[in-house]
Chain A
């Protein structure tokens, strides 16, 4: 009878068919789905980017050196994310906390930069209702900014758990999954930065 009681627990809580953690598979599936989300937004932007009959042109408002700095901050946050994961996998919770704060901080730099950029564009006469260039620009970058903001909240929650002593080496998967999301949001920005800012400038 003993082995009977043991079997079910092992079947549900432990092993999966692939050996991969289900939450991790879920995150990968979500990222695949999110590709289609950003694909639709980028597609819309590509159709509409040349349409600014009355409002300012992209070259009038974009400040590429400025946006490059905030993009650089976001890219560096991915490095900090890798170091945060490496720290918890070693069991180094002190460094985990430092690097998590670092990731969230660099993310905040990016979001702060975006808020400033949106405000400046607004004062220069570009907003959601300015032809289709404005509509598609703000929707695309706004969706990305929302993704980054959500990531920051998530990372800060992980940091809070770590500060309360609840993050241990055994929970490194929690950091890994948040990291998958964070890196994805970064990679999407590389594409958006190229498509939106760099290509029209050439």
Chain B
């Protein structure tokens, strides 16, 4: 499809691939839509892995004194479950939507740096693999997803930590590259007329999330480098024997870690802000407040990190500051919740699967948000620290929040991506099973936490009286597992024989619904001109919005241009490239070298160097 009118001079280390087929088309693709599908499929595989780890833990905890897995395995399970779900499931699933949907919503042909985008995906995959290489030699990371010092020093831990340190650094490189790319894309590739305050909310949350990624990931990178230097070269950053301070790790980790939770939730809020107006057939209530709320949440997210550290003894002044800033975040968050509810209120509500997931998100996220405000109070937090109450809280925001919204996003955009609907019956079954299973799993954890059950214990004696709620929780977890099987069935059925969806199956409001499903390789034959918020809605119903715009003419022009573009193949899209995957492979080899055989490290770095040089010498035609 990458056709160009005039032949270009091809120089460089490798000829640029032209219209590859089959697996090579995926390996060399720089098309954001294909990269989005790669992100989504890979993240779903990691979701199944992380989910299996969760089910193993729940099986072990179902009854007192169970012996399904031992304490060491249990440590590895909760570490890998947390790390996987955060860095290899929720972030890349969000990235899948950034890739597929954002260019369509802003009327662009691709992202600002298509090859960098492919590089981000391959680096993400490399990081995920490096993190899991520990399974090959039975040395799995087992120090918790926040890997508190000084448990992670050589003296107190095994080689699993190395896989965590190296894998997470590589994942960070992929996330940073993607963050930069979407930041620049949204700043610079908006269609004419698409001013910032006309951007769809999902584009806004992608924009703000990218800023958070760009500013938060360098901090964890430095923390990981320091830990790696401790482990590999005998540095003393967290070695208490030589003056290292374990609290420094906590500060660096949470300066990253708290923005990170908003990196996980803001895209989900963006998805919900897209779904709710469409299925309520009303514009998003209080659009400017929604935008400012997202921006304030992002700003405040850098001022609250130490609320994870109240029990380290920060002193009354620091504790008061972080308590106040944490409570302040409830204000913009509350604004968002009330605005979603006000959007539904008085609308022509369609309760189909995507909308159910979005509404489920609002309810569950509110519960998780309320227990979050409780943790803002240092004395309350001191009671709850490291109990199951905290586990309940963050699963209500991360599963009840992020995961429900991401599933909603899949049901909402699946027709755009594949041209077919997901089954509504199976969809509703999926939703209700997941919703009920979720509440059965994590609701009782509130009680267990208040009852004093610590997190991260592999078993408990019967006399503690925690048996009943643990059993309920385990039953709920299996219901969630069942709902995921229903989802898989739904997707595989729809891919083969799903009901055909037109270009605009939901009567959508944003530009992605103005082009065919699935969209052509080049997205838009002519770049649309935007006249207001909800650009496509305005174009379809100018009279409803009181606009006597020239939209119908433009629309006719675009259809004509679309046909012309198809017929003449004049549309300029970037060619595929070998360099993104080659450069990422260098990083994978270098990481493997650090973990298994140091001589591989220079080899990997050399491949990266060749990759970067080849990349920059590749003839640029997009």
Contacts and interface: CB of A to CB of B under 8 A. Distances in A.
A17 B191 CA distance: 7
Interface string B173-200: 0001000100110011110001000000
Query: Which secondary structure dominates where chain B touches chain A?
Result: helix
A8 B526 contact: yes
B233 A128 contact: yes
A23 to B, nearest CB: 8
Contacts of B235: 128-129, 135, 139
A20 interface: yes
Nearest to A135: B235
A131 B252 contact: no
Question: Which of B194, B218, B225 has the most A CB atoms < 10 Å from its CB?
Answer: B218
B572 A12 contact: yes
Interface string A130-148: 0110111001000000000
A16 interface: yes
A199 interface: no
B47 to A, nearest CB: 28
Interface in B230-256: 230, 233-237, 242-245, 248, 252, 255
Interface stretch (A45-53, A60-68, A91-99, A175-183): A45-53
A139 B108 CA distance: 42
A22 B113 contact: yes
Contacts of A43: 252
Nearest to B194: A17
Nearest to A136: B237
A89 to B, nearest CB: 22
Number of chain A interface residues as a range:
35 or more
Contacts of B5: 5
Nearest to B251: A43
B226 A44 contact: yes
A4 interface: yes
Interface stretch (B337-345, B488-496, B558-566): B558-566
Interface stretch (A25-33, A107-115, A116-124, A188-196): A25-33
A12 B622 contact: yes
A132 B243 contact: yes
Contact of B527 (A8, A32, A47): A8
Contact of A37 (B109, B218, B255): B218
B189 A26 contact: no
A139 B225 contact: yes
A102 B527 CA distance: 45
Task: Report the contact-size class of chain B (Cβ under 8 Å from the partner).
Answer: 35 or more
Interface string B517-529: 0000010011100
B112 A26 contact: yes
A93 to B, nearest CB: 20
Given A8-B565, A44-B222, A44-B226, A36 B242 contact: no
A139 B248 CA distance: 15
Given A128-B229, A131-B236, A40 B525 contact: no
Given A4-B526, A37-B221, A47 B214 contact: no
A29 B214 contact: yes
A40 B222 contact: yes
A24 B493 CA distance: 46
Contacts of A40: 218-219, 222-223, 252, 255
B218 A36 contact: yes
Nearest to B217: A33
B378 to A, nearest CB: 23
Contacts of A1: 564, 568
Interface in B564-590: 564-565, 568, 570-572
A162 to B, nearest CB: 15
Given A32-B214, A40-B218, A5 B234 contact: no
Contacts of A8: 109, 522, 525-527, 565, 570-572
Contacts of A22: 112-113, 184, 188-189
Contacts of A51: 243
A12 B526 CA distance: 11
B188 A20 contact: yes
A170 interface: no
Contacts of B525: 8
A158 to B, nearest CB: 11
Contact of B188 (A16, A48, A134, A136): A16
A59 interface: no
Interface string B478-489: 000000000000
Given A8-B522, A8-B526, A47-B245, A34 B233 contact: no
Contact of A12 (B109, B176, B230): B109
A136 B190 CA distance: 43
B564 A4 contact: yes
Contacts of A36: 215-216, 218-219
A120 B620 CA distance: 46
A51 to B, nearest CB: 4
A4 B557 CA distance: 9
A17 B203 CA distance: 15
Contacts of B222: 37, 40-41, 44
Interface string B521-563: 0100111000000000000000000000000000000001100
Contacts of A202: none
Contacts of A134: 236
A5 B229 CA distance: 56
Nearest to B219: A40
A171 to B, nearest CB: 12
Contacts of A5: 5, 564, 568, 570
Given A8-B522, A135-B244, 17 more contacts: A5-B570, A11-B527, A12-B572, A16-B188, A17-B187, A20-B188, A22-B188, A25-B184, A26-B180, A34-B218, A43-B252, A44-B222, A53-B243, A128-B235, A135-B237, A139-B226, A139-B237
18 contacts: A4-B560, A4-B561, A4-B568, A5-B564, A7-B526, A9-B572, A16-B188, A17-B189, A25-B184, A32-B215, A33-B180, A37-B218, A37-B219, A40-B219, A48-B243, A53-B243, A128-B235, A132-B243
Closest 5 CB pairs of A and B: A37-B218, A40-B222, A16-B188, A135-B235, A51-B243
